[in-house]
Structure 1
Amino acid sequence: MSIPRIALAPGLEISRVLTGLWQIADMERDGRTLDLDAAATAMHPYVEAGLSTFDMADHYGSAEIVAGRYRAARAATTAVQCLTKWVPEPGPVTAEQVRTAVDRARTRLQTDTIDLLQFHAWTFADPRWLDALWMLEAERDAGRITAIGLTNFDTAHLRVAISSGIRVVSNQVSGSLVDTRFTTKLAPYAAAHGVGLLCYGTVLGGFLSERWLGAPEPAWDTLETWSQMKYGRFIRTAGGWAVFQQLLHTLDAVAQKHGVSIATVASRWVLDQPGVAGVIVGARLSHSQHVSETSRLFAFTLDDNDRAAIAAAQAALLPIPGDCGDEYRTPPYLTASGDLSHHLSSFPAPFSTRPGADGRTLALSGTVWEPMAGYSRAVRKGSRIQVSGTTATHGSHAIGGDDAAAQTHFCIDKISGALQSLGGRLEDVVRSRVFVSNVDRDWEAVARAHGERFGHILPANTMVQAKLIGDEYLVEIEVDADVGS
């Protein structure tokens, strides 16, 4: 069975089914060692079956090293695509740090040019995530990266990146029959802007399989793998084991009808969704092979009856909250540990602070305008925080181009960063004031973006038309917040 391929970028064509190597980190957990050469050899059956695209990351244990050994051994006869990720700590980033990260991946992968480097940002309240992307652009222009992708970006911030001129070809996000967030806003926006979605978690760490059909609810604190720990949280958030079993029984009927497995039906459903360029199916190299089963993804087609039955079972599930990637940025953290403790040690403040007069604390962004005009990015006195008028700028860059919604999201990000720097958060905002340069054209886009970010907070709000300083600015926002006791 031929595996379809898709072009993500000039010079980068991938299999629509990618083999994920995140489980290598799990296999090396608690000091366990992995035979790297045996793992590299275990990649070959996938390549022979047409599954020549592998997904990995800088923090997936020895995954990049394993892939590099395979490439070195087969370079003369076999073409593979190695998609990796860079997941830096939050905070300031330098060109030297970016070059070091790129060179480390090139060395591990034993290649001059990384096929696709995917970037993850832990927080958007710190605008320095854009610095990293601009520096990756320079690495791509220098020929060390073929293409730039994102991972776990929500729709709003994919929009900010695209409208700011970042040339992104993909966004890797969670996507499954249980987690359908990608289908609502992200997929339509991504498809309209030439960004392919790469969906992981399609089989929920193995929970979408015959093994769990009719099985009693597992002891959630004694699961075998990080993937099971993580996706167990998704199942509980979506309504629990009983409704999940209803979904499994429906999938089992569809699977038996087509002579395939439940996992194959689950992955095929995701692959069929508009905007999805590929699905990522995990592999435990040198331990278990699923090449034949994975290849069956294209041996059948879900018909209208199948889709209707699946939709009826999905209707009993609760939606996973938020947009794509929120599981890594806002509670409830749907991670293996239920928080970010195994990912990060701390979040540095986005802006510097210092004492001011009369018991005030000042947050400063360091722009030339603050000392010239005599103001702070934000001021806290007691429980009150007041944030200055905020436009979509970062350093010398105007953010968001002519996209009023993107500019609004970035303004609110900066406001969130200022609040965090002074011990507050967006939920503490009690009033927002929005100034729009062209109300007739942009009011609705600005209002909708404001609604996305403040809809659960509902502060007092005013929107007015105003002549802003700088023709590139479509919107400016200021807020008042009260952090309480």
Structure 2
Amino acid sequence: MTDLTLNDGRTMPQLGMGTWQIPDSQVAAIVRNGLDIGFRLVDTAAIYENERGVGDGYKGSDAFLTTKLWNDRQGDPEAALDESLALLGLDAVDLYLMHWPAPGQGQFVDAWKAMVALRDAGKTRSIGVSNFEPAHLDAIVAATGVTPVVNQIELHPNFQQREARAYHERHGIVTQSWSPLGQGKTLLTDARITDIAAKHGRSAAQVILAWHLALGLSVIPKASDAEHLTDNFAALDLTLDDEDMAAIAAMDDAGGRMGPEPGSM
């Protein structure tokens, strides 16, 4: 497992396990399975309504744990994080992300200031954002002098976010991919992906995850059973060649976004 160095000097595992849409009643067993397989990064969020289960599965682990501040709590991030910590059964998380900028609320800059204070108080070891565009990032850095360690954004072969990745690289921000396999089975059955998978004797999911890893991205695929967790983890020892990388690069589509526009939330 490769660790990525964050701009605050800490490190974060490159490959993690996402828990979006996994019910609270089921997620503890899945998290335990993932940790047993070898995952060392677990990603959750208040809006997923599964933090209690994630905490149960995580209990006793020293893996890297991320949770997120939902939009309706930007007015009081400290109370929101305290609630998340109580559900998780922890005194602090490794990474606290602002889930969306929600610019229409006009609170994200003040929320970032509060998150800086939470980091300084030791309730989260690092702070970052999710779904922020360059203008939002510029605003919070200008107000605080603190650059997020991570920006977690929608990123997959059909929506490669090259401009955002370049911005992040210039500013020392780790790009973390959510929905890295796309949604549904469209990418997993795309002939350009399955041809590469057949060439290497691997699964389509492993090919896509290996592409993210080769680009230096952090990636948090969701898996709801041990078989998929094991399959995802095996991407760590798959090396794609230049021809493979070029074929996937050609899949980029400016209209490939599947989730909401960041400014609309």
Q: TM-score, normalised by structure 1?
A: 0.50
Match status 1:70 vs 2:57: yes
Point out where structure 2 has 5 or more consecutive residues left out of the alignment: none
Corresponding position of 2:84: 105
- Rate the CA distance shift 1:71–1:125 in 2: closer, same or farther, 3 A: closer
- Bigger radius of gyration: 1
- Tell me, yes or no, if the aligned pair for 1:209 and 1:261 is still in contact at 8 Å: no
Corresponding position of 1:20: 18
Corresponding position of 1:134: 113
Corresponding position of 2:136: 157
For residues 246 and 121 of structure 2, the distance between their equivalents in structure 1, rounded to whole angstroms, comes to 49
1:144-183 matched pairs, under 5 angstroms: 144-164=123-143, 165-180=145-160, 182-183=161-162
Query: Displacement of 1:66 after TM fit?
Result: 1.3
1:45 aligns with one of 24, 27, 33:
33
Higher relative contact order (CA 8 A, sep 6+): 2
- Tell me, yes or no, if the aligned pair for 1:208 and 1:263 is still in contact at 8 Å: no
Partner secondary structure for residue 183 of structure 2: helix
1:53-452 matched pairs, under 5 angstroms: 53-62=41-50, 64-72=51-59, 75=60, 78-89=61-72, 93=75, 97-164=76-143, 165-180=145-160, 182-183=161-162, 185-208=163-186, 213=189, 248-273=190-215, 276=217, 278-284=218-224, 287=225, 289-312=227-250, 314=251, 318-320=253-255, 327-330=261-264
Partner secondary structure for residue 204 of structure 1: coil
1:363-391 C-alpha deviation (Å, 9 max, x unpaired): xxxxxxxxxxxxxxxxxxxxxxxxxxxxx
Corresponding position of 1:419: none
- Rate the CA distance shift 1:310–1:161 in 2: closer, same or farther, 3 A: same
- Tell me, yes or no, if the aligned pair for 1:54 and 1:81 is still in contact at 8 Å: yes
- Rate the CA distance shift 1:84–1:320 in 2: closer, same or farther, 3 A: same
Query: Displacement of 1:41 after TM fit?
Result: 3.2
Query: Displacement of 1:126 after TM fit?
Result: 4.4
- Rate the CA distance shift 1:71–1:12 in 2: closer, same or farther, 3 A: farther
CA RMSD after TM alignment:
2.6
The amino acid across from 2:85 in the alignment is R
Query: Kindly, what percent of the aligned residue pairs are identical?
Result: 26
Partner secondary structure for residue 172 of structure 1: strand
For residues 8 and 262 of structure 2, the distance between their equivalents in structure 1, rounded to whole angstroms, comes to 31
The amino acid across from 1:192 in the alignment is R
- Tell me, yes or no, if the aligned pair for 2:156 and 2:181 is still in contact at 8 Å: yes
For residues 31 and 260 of structure 2, the distance between their equivalents in structure 1, rounded to whole angstroms, comes to 32
Partner secondary structure for residue 256 of structure 1: helix
Query: Displacement of 1:321 after TM fit?
Result: 7.3
For residues 296 and 159 of structure 1, the distance between their equivalents in structure 2, rounded to whole angstroms, comes to 37
Query: Displacement of 1:113 after TM fit?
Result: 1.1
- Number of matched pairs: 264
Partner secondary structure for residue 54 of structure 1: strand
- Tell me, yes or no, if the aligned pair for 1:154 and 1:325 is still in contact at 8 Å: no
- Rate the CA distance shift 1:163–1:289 in 2: closer, same or farther, 3 A: farther
Partner secondary structure for residue 177 of structure 2: strand
Query: Displacement of 1:253 after TM fit?
Result: 1.0
Point out where structure 1 has 5 or more consecutive residues left out of the alignment: 28-33, 214-247, 331-339, 341-485
Partner secondary structure for residue 215 of structure 2: coil
For residues 256 and 236 of structure 2, the distance between their equivalents in structure 1, rounded to whole angstroms, comes to 31
For residues 102 and 283 of structure 1, the distance between their equivalents in structure 2, rounded to whole angstroms, comes to 25
- Tell me, yes or no, if the aligned pair for 1:270 and 1:279 is still in contact at 8 Å: yes
- Rate the CA distance shift 1:310–1:142 in 2: closer, same or farther, 3 A: closer
- Tell me, yes or no, if the aligned pair for 1:140 and 1:146 is still in contact at 8 Å: yes
Query: Displacement of 1:290 after TM fit?
Result: 1.6
Query: Displacement of 1:58 after TM fit?
Result: 0.2
Q: TM-score, normalised by structure 2?
A: 0.88
Query: Displacement of 1:206 after TM fit?
Result: 4.0
Deviation >4 Å, runs of 4+: 9-12
Structure ranking higher in helix proportion: 2
Query: Displacement of 1:9 after TM fit?
Result: 5.6
- Tell me, yes or no, if the aligned pair for 2:92 and 2:125 is still in contact at 8 Å: yes
Query: Displacement of 1:166 after TM fit?
Result: 2.8
- Rate the CA distance shift 1:50–1:124 in 2: closer, same or farther, 3 A: same
The amino acid across from 2:62 in the alignment is A
For residues 307 and 179 of structure 1, the distance between their equivalents in structure 2, rounded to whole angstroms, comes to 15
